[in-house]
């Protein structure tokens, strides 16, 4: 396995970062998770744009251009001869001294891992997930904006631990007022009376790229799309609920907080959206050859 590290492709065993890297010491950095499907990198431009926007959000200047970053992603996929891959793109503040001051880190660290991704087992896409609301609230945008996809994922990890302790794989996280935000690594959607709804970005959620794709697929599935405040009560009474993310794609939810959603079966709109999303990943993206 070859890893892109600061402009070079190196063997996995040689892909090392310093213990003085502020990404390690403070979670000071940003990342992206991208997918390629049969030699097409899905929404590569959108992911690279979001990476640079996250970097801007933490005042981190990425020392290569977006074009160079795109080439680095493709080169890494080609070097590893991967047709289908999960791509992890990471930029840290770089190596520095002890102490938070980012001015001690003259050179950001950039690395790209291309590998396979273990999704949820296939039967969960047919049967649907059971999830719970967890006590840990999602970061407030005023403290650490969830739109910044930073290396500081402890908020989400705390939510994930609480879900696992409750015996389920995912967690609904609420904002400070108790409105639904998102899950620990996925956005959340509900459908009620032909309307597709998801929390608006300003409530404090990641502007998910799968989320955007699903919103634009709504009308084709016969749904009106709306970004709005959502309560737990509304989720309990939804016709359908599902999660979206680059790794999970679209995964149905059939039970939340001990309540079955509608009849507890995966809904027809969700199935339609899954089908249409699959079609999109087959035809759209930046092409490469291995």
Tell me phi and psi for residue 37, to 5 degrees. -125, 115
Nearer to ligand PXG, 25 or 206 (CB): 206
- Distance of closest approach, residue 133 Cβ to ligand PXG, in angstroms: 15
**Which residues contact ligand PXG (rule: CB under 6 A)?**
33, 156, 182, 185-187, 206, 208-211, 244-247
Tally Cβ neighbours within 10 Å of residue 259: 11
Residue 240's H or E segment, with its range, is strand 240-245
**Least distance between ligand PXG and beta carbon 185 (Å):** 4
**Nearest distance in Å: CB 286, ligand PXG:** 16
Q: Closer to ligand PXG at the Cβ: 69 or 105?
A: 69
- The upper half-sphere exposure of residue 10, i.e. CA atoms within 13 Å in the direction of its Cβ, equals 13
Closest to ligand PXG by CB, 141 or 245: 245
Write out the two tokens for 107.
Answer: 């050179």
| Known active-site residue 149 | yes
Closest to ligand PXG by CB, 108 or 208: 208
In the bound state with ligand PXG, the residue whose beta carbon lies nearer, of 187 and 256, is 187
Reading phi first (left if > 0) and then psi (alpha if -120 to 50, else beta), residue 249 is in left
Q: Could you give the CA distance from residue 30 to residue 10 in angstroms, rounded to a whole number?
A: 21
Q: How far apart are CB 37 and ligand PXG at their closest, in Å?
A: 14
DSSP output for 50-97: HHHHHHHHTT---SS-HHHHHHHHHHHHHHTT-SSEEEEEEEE--B--
CB 208 → ligand PXG: shortest distance, Å? 3
Neighbour-count burial of 287, counting CB atoms closer than 10 A to its CB (0-12 exposed, 13-18 middle, 19+ buried)? exposed
Q: Which position among 45, 71, 83, 149 bears the catalytic label?
A: 149
- Other Cβ atoms less than 10 A from the Cβ of 280: the count is 16
Query: Where in the sequence numbering do the catalytic residues fall?
Result: 149
């Amino acid at each position: 396995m070859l890893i892109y590290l600061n402009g070079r492709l190196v063997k996995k065993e040689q892909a090392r970062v310093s213990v003085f890297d502020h990404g390690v010491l403070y979670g000071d950095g940003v990342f992206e998770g991208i997918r390629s499907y049969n030699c097409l990198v899905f929404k590569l431009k959108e992911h690279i744009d979001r990476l640079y926007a996250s970097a801007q959000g933490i005042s981190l200047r990425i020392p290569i251009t977006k074009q160079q970053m795109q080439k680095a992603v493709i080169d890494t996929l080609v070097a590893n001869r991967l047709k289908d891959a999960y791509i992890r793109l990471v930029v840290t503040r770089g190596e520095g001294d002890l102490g938070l001051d980012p001015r001690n880190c003259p050179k950001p660290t950039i690395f790209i891992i291309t590998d396979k991704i273990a999704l949820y087992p296939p039967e969960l896409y047919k049967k649907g997930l059971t999830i719970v609301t967890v006590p840990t609230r999602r970061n407030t945008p005023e403290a650490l904006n969830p739109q910044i996809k930073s290396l500081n994922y402890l908020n989400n990890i705390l939510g994930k631990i609480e879900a696992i302790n409750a015996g389920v794989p995912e967690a609904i996280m609420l904002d400070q007022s108790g409105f639904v935000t998102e899950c620990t690594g996925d956005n959340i959607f509900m459908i009620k009376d032909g309307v597709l709804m998801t929390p608006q970005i300003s409530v404090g959620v990641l502007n998910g790229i799968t989320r955007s794709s699903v919103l634009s697929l709504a009308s084709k599935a016969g749904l009106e799309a709306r970004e709005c405040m959502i309560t737990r009560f509304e989720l309990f009474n939804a016709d359908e609920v599902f999660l979206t993310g680059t790794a999970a794609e679209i995964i149905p939810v059939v039970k939340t907080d001990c309540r079955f959603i509608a009849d507890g079966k995966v809904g027809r709109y969700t199935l339609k959206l899954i089908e249409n999303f699959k079609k999109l990943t087959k035809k759209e993206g930046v092409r490469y050859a291995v």
